[in-house]
Structures are given as structure tokens and as C-alpha cells.
Chain A
């Protein structure tokens, strides 16, 4: 069972009555998902004695244990698939059924791409134990699918090892949806997965047994502030073992805060991001463990929180209307350099540890427009490739280059003036 993942969710299409079946190949399980509504909060009731991770699939708007008549039979909607991983976090399997060969299940598209009504579903998978009632936040109609190892966005939940993609759900744009619909799995008339692309194993199911899951939902408005943003997308790293969430604030809050403040500028935003991060981490912590240092893990979550913010604000920002030429003059170029850049002396390696230098950088960085600063931090501090920044933030490549270009122009002008002038060169 090496790298088996369970995945639920994806686009919900056509009607609100039922939606695609998500299958667990080889397990005899089928999970029918119903539309998940934007910003909805649900509670998964965990039943049974199985150890996690369980992959939650809850039917929003449905009463617990909702049974919906559907043509040939009755199906239970929502709920929790009992799963067990004997080798966390590499995979999940069904408990109690034939354990044949769990394979990967993508966020299947059971419905044809001709969408009448789209609902993106996003579900959280967690390591749960019996009696748990765990809130699950379903963000933004599912949030944006995380780019997976297969290089595409994918809806739904994945429960399993990071690196094969964690779960979240939905797609961001119609265009992406259409593209994905072509790529993703379709069900044929015999309930088999048709692998949409190479590298994804085929699976099949025979009958729908009672998977033994229950569901519950709630629409607790108080929970809305809980975890804005794509919860599970914010869980990029396995959690290191052996650390205590009670210590997080004491141990990591300052580092996380500084990280957030660098990028978000405003205290309140940074505080919020830290809180969101720790809450998301708390949600995720039982499901994952790994080797990465705790702070690194938390920062990974925080980075996703920040990226989410950038993505959410990118749409209504002035980003799309970047004034092309006027700004350049300010930076000292107008066809030719007004004051030609000089040759800087100094060793980047040494300077990178020079506290005084960084105090100056801080000032120059603070003078950057917010978006430039955020993007530049992602590109340098976080060492993200430009392409990945585009994917994650939704900023177009052209705009990204412009933003980085301007950030560099300003930073170099500022640093040349304040640090690299002959008087102040160390």
C-alpha cells in the first residue's frame, strides 16, 4: 500500500441532488458527494473503532445520515469514510472490507463537463478518533485545487502523504474546470475509473455496500471566522512528531509573526495570519507527521495562508492595470540611467548575516508597494519559482515579472543610496 491516497470531492455538477461518486478503488466503497456550499461549516461525526486518518466527506445542507433516493437505490450522503492507515501517512484503506489494492483516486469528475451548475467541493481529511466531532471548514466553495504531483489542479480531498497532493477542492475558474474535466477521470458505464492520464492507476468498484459512515452537518455562523482560506491547502508539510500545540504560541509565535509581518505589513493582518495558521495546524496535526521541523511546518502553513490572501485580493486590486511606463522614471531610468548603477562591493554571503545591513533592507523593503513586497518575498525568501507563484496567487506571469522588476528597481535604488554609497560601504 505504498502511496495510496483517498480523494474526495471535485466539481459538483448539474443538480443539487446528487453528485459524483467518488470511489475508492478496490475497496467497494463509493461516496456520493452532494454540493458543498460556499463557506459552509460541517461537523464530521466519527464512528467506529478505526484509527485514522479518516477522510471526511460531508454532505452540506443534509441532515446527518441523509438518505436520498436516487433512481436505482438509496444512497447515503455525506459522512465519513472509515479508513485506516497502517503506515501513516502513506496511505489509507478501508476498514472491514476487502483490502485489495487501494489506489489513487483523483477528485473524480463523474459528470460530463457540460456543467449546469457548478459546486466545488472541498473536504478535509483528518486523523480522527471515535467520538470526535470535528469542525471542517469548507472554504470558498472548495478553494483552489492544489497543484499535484501530476501537475494539475484537482478538486477534492486527498488524505495521504503530502507530495502526492493534499486535499482541498474545486477549481478556480471555468477555464481551469474545463481543462481539468478533460483530464480527470471519468466513470464509464460499469463504474470503472477511466484513467484520465498516464500515471494514475485504474480502479474499479463492484457494489455499494454499507460503508458504515455517518454524517452530520451544521451551519454554525460563529465558525465562519474560524478558518478562512483553504484549510487543507495550508498543510503542506507533514507535522513533526512529539511537539505540543500548547507550546506553539510560546515557541513559535514570534517567528511566525515576523514572517507574516514582513509580508503583510499590518500588525492585525499578521496576527490574524498567525492565528489562522495555528488553528489550521491544530486541525491538521493529528493526521500528519513527518520529519520536518515544527517551525518549518508551521511556516509552510503560514505561507499558504499568505498566498491565499494575495490570491483573494489580487482580483480586485489595481494589479491588472499596472501603469506601464510612468513609474520607471521614478526609479532612475528613462531610456537611459539618470544615475547609472554602480558596482557594489561586498559579499552577499557576509551581508546576509549582517544585522545592520538588514536593518537598512527593512527600511527599503518597507517602502515597496505591498504587492511588490509580497511577491518579492515569495520569490526570494521563500524561493518559489515564478511559475509556482503565478499558480498559487493567480497573478499572471506578465504581471509577476513587472512586479518583480519594479521591486528590484526600487530595492537597488534604495540600497545603492543608503548602503552602497562610498561613505557607508563597510
Chain B
């Protein structure tokens, strides 16, 4: 826990840092906070973990989540008919 700013702020910045380059000042504050705060340090690792596990799955050719559902027969037929009509 840091005196610089709250964990809430640190968590927000840790997330933002994944999406754009933080301004220098914010970056420094975040690094300072994370240096001192084990929880936020763990949090930052966790969100990096989550982001990368999603990306890795996509890179294995599965940019989606597992589902037992498939396109059902009726929808299939409908789409097929639509495509044929258009062709």
C-alpha cells in the first residue's frame, strides 16, 4: 500500500498501461505504487496473464470461447438457401 495513491487508482492505471502508453508522471506513480504494494503487483501480473492467455488461444486458431452450441440445422438451411439465392 502506498501513500502516493490508492490501490483503486493503481489498478486502473495498471490496466490502462496495457492499452496505451501512460504519461510519464502516471507511469512513475504506478511503478512506485507497485513497488511497494504486493496486492497491486499481483493484480498487474494477473491482468497481463489474462490478456496473454486470451491472445495465445487466438493464436492457436481459436479466437473464441468453447461452446457446445453450433449453428443449428434450421439456421444452416436458412443461410444456405440465402446464399444460393444470391449466387
Contact = CB atoms under 8 A, between A and B. Distances in A.
B36 interface: no
A261 B72 CA distance: 13
Contacts of A257: 69-71
Interface string B75-87: 1101110111011
B65 A328 contact: no
Given A333-B11, A348-B56, A274 B18 contact: no
A245 B87 contact: yes
B67 to A, nearest CB: 6
Contacts of B16: 401, 405
A interface, by DSSP: helix, strand, loop or mixed?
A: helix
Nearest to A340: B39
A341 B42 contact: yes
A353 interface: yes
B65 A365 contact: yes
A74 B55 CA distance: 57
Interface stretch (A49-57, A102-110, A171-179, A275-283): A275-283
Contacts of B83: 245-246, 248-249, 278-279, 282
A335 interface: yes
Interface in B19-67: 19-20, 38-40, 42-43, 45-47, 49-58, 60, 63-67
B15 A336 contact: no
B63 A282 contact: no
Interface residues of A, number: 65
B49 A348 contact: yes
Given A258-B64, A333-B8, A348 B53 contact: yes
A357 B79 CA distance: 33
A401 B19 contact: yes
A346 B20 CA distance: 27
B40 to A, nearest CB: 8
A337 B41 CA distance: 12
A412 B65 contact: no
A397 B20 contact: yes
Interface string A354-381: 0100110110010000000000110111
Nearest to A416: B46
B87 to A, nearest CB: 6
Interface residues of B, number: 48
A117 interface: no
A397 B43 CA distance: 22
Contacts of A417: none
Nearest to A293: B61
B76 A249 contact: yes
A412 B47 CA distance: 7
A138 to B, nearest CB: 17
A2 interface: no
A275 B78 contact: yes
B64 A380 contact: no
A381 B78 CA distance: 29
A415 interface: yes
Interface string A372-405: 0000110111110011000000000100110011
Contacts of A289: none
Contact of A258 (B7, B19, B52, B67): B67
Given A245-B87, A254-B71, A340-B42, A335 B7 contact: yes
Contacts of A190: none
B58 A351 contact: no
Contacts of B58: 380-383
B1 interface: yes
A337 B78 contact: no
B63 A299 contact: yes
Interface of A: 226, 245-246, 248-249, 253-255, 257-259, 261-262, 267, 271, 274-275, 278-279, 282-283, 299, 328, 333-337, 340-344, 346, 348-349, 351-353, 355, 358-359, 361-362, 365, 376-377, 379-383, 386-387, 397, 400-401, 404-405, 408-409, 411-412, 415-416
7 contacts: A257-B70, A259-B64, A275-B79, A333-B8, A351-B53, A359-B66, A409-B11
